[in-house]
């Protein structure tokens, strides 16, 4: 596969290609940008370009056909090491990083280099970061380290100062629609266009909004929050918990649904801030715009900022594996308090 199959990030490809052709390709890269825009896919394609046996490294253009390119695609290239935060952990364990450093210290089995892809770089703790520090400062000859996160502000200084930060933008709407059509060629093209309009450049958000249950629950919740009448916070907590549990018995499915709800509410309240500032809210949905206008008339901007912050805080605690019923109850009660104008 060529870079042409990696959609929406041509600027990043050209920047890295210039670095490769000049002989100044960085040994450590930190990819930052919103979730669901293809940073992991890009990292694997970059590894393919660095390992390609048919095309010069300076071209940074994988042929997609040689043995090395095929091994990267199949996930069994012996010199490509991918690690991330285990599903049951809230941080990157130091054991994972020590094993990675050991693997990188060994001689390559093919060619002259190794490539490491470290996902979930937002979740380095200080101990794991210190274990990785020597490898970042003095990597083995030819090694390239690719760290994947969402924001440079979430990185420890010891990591950030030793990496070249590569910023990824949200996918353009037309590229997102094309990706969605490629994923499901049998689906209605109009549905892909609709989801791309709502997805804000993120494949994962667009796919989550394809769930009719989530869309329906979100609609009812947004309209309820925008209603001037006070709502029953304990009842809201009960309904939120039931909806999250309905995602399935697996904790990952439940946390994914909870994260979608917290994220959608944060985006909605952001639209309320736009509305209060006299700007058109980014949401294309007329019902969202009406709800945002209703809340903007009732709340002070400071209250809306706190609502956005509370949604982001709930998502943070969700990632830290806080007990779900406690998290949802506290979240619902805080929404009720803030929407009532009480601080």
Q: What is the mean pLDDT of residues 171-199?
A: 90
pLDDT tens readout for residues 17-71: 999 999 889 999 999 999 999 999 999 999 999 999 999 888 899 999 999 999 9
Q: What is the mean pLDDT of residues 297-323?
A: 91
CATH pick for 211-339 out of 3.30.460, 1.10.8, 1.20.272, 3.30.70: 1.20.272
pTM of the model: 0.84
Q: What is the mean pLDDT of residues 245-262?
A: 91
Percentage above 90 pLDDT, the chain: 69
pLDDT tens readout for residues 74-99: 999 999 999 999 887 888 999 999 99
Half-sphere exposure of residue 222: CA atoms within 13 angstroms, side-chain side: 29
CB 57, CB 50: distance < 8 Å: yes
Sheet of strand 28-32, all strands in order from the earlier edge strand to the far edge: 80-83, 115-118, 144-148, 28-32, 164-167
Q: Which tokens sit at 246?
A: 């309905």
Same fold, 3-167 and 211-339: no
3-167 in CATH: which number? 3.40.50.300
CB 175, CB 8: distance < 8 Å: yes
pLDDT of 343 reads 42
pLDDT tens readout for residues 134-148: 999 999 998 999 999
Residue spans per domain, the chain: 3-167, 211-339
pLDDT of 40 reads 95
């Amino acid at each position: 596969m060529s870079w042409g199959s990696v959609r929406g990030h041509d600027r990043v490809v050209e920047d890295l290609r210039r670095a490769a052709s000049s002989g100044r390709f960085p040994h450590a890269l930190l990819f930052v940008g919103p979730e669901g825009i293809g940073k992991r896919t890009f990292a694997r394609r970059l590894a393919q370009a660095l390992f390609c046996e048919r095309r010069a490294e300076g071209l940074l253009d994988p042929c997609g056909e040689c043995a090395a390119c095929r091994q990267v695609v199949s996930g069994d290239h012996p010199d490509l090491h991918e690690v991330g935060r285990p599903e049951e952990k809230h941080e990157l364990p130091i054991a994972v990083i020590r094993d990675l450093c050991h693997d990188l210290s060994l001689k390559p089995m093919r060619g002259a280099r190794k490539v490491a892809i470290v996902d979930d770089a937002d979740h380095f703790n200080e101990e794991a970061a210190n274990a990785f520090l020597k490898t970042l400062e003095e990597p083995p000859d030819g090694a390239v380290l690719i760290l994947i996160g969402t924001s440079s502000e979430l990185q420890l200084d010891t990591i950030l100062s030793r990496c070249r930060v590569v910023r990824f933008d949200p996918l353009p709407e037309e590229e997102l629609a094309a990706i969605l059509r490629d994923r499901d060629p049998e689906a209605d093209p109009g549905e892909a266009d609709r989801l791309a309009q709502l997805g804000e450049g993120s494949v994962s958000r667009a796919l989550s909004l394809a769930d009719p249950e989530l869309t329906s629950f979100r609609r009812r919740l947004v309209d309820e929050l925008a209603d001037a009448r006070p709502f029953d916070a304990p009842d809201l907590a009960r309904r939120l918990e039931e909806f999250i549990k309905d995602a399935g018995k697996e904790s990952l499915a439940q946390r994914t649904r909870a994260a979608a709800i917290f994220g959608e509410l944060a985006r909605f309240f952001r639209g309320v801030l736009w509305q209060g500032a006299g700007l058109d809210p980014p949401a294309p949905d007329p019902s969202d715009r009406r709800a945002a206008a209703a809340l903007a008339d009732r709340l002070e901007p400071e209250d809306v900022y706190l609502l956005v912050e509370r949604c982001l805080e709930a998502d943070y605690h969700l990632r830290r594996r806080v007990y779900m019923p406690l998290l949802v109850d506290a979240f619902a009660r805080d929404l009720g308090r803030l929407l009532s104008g009480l601080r």
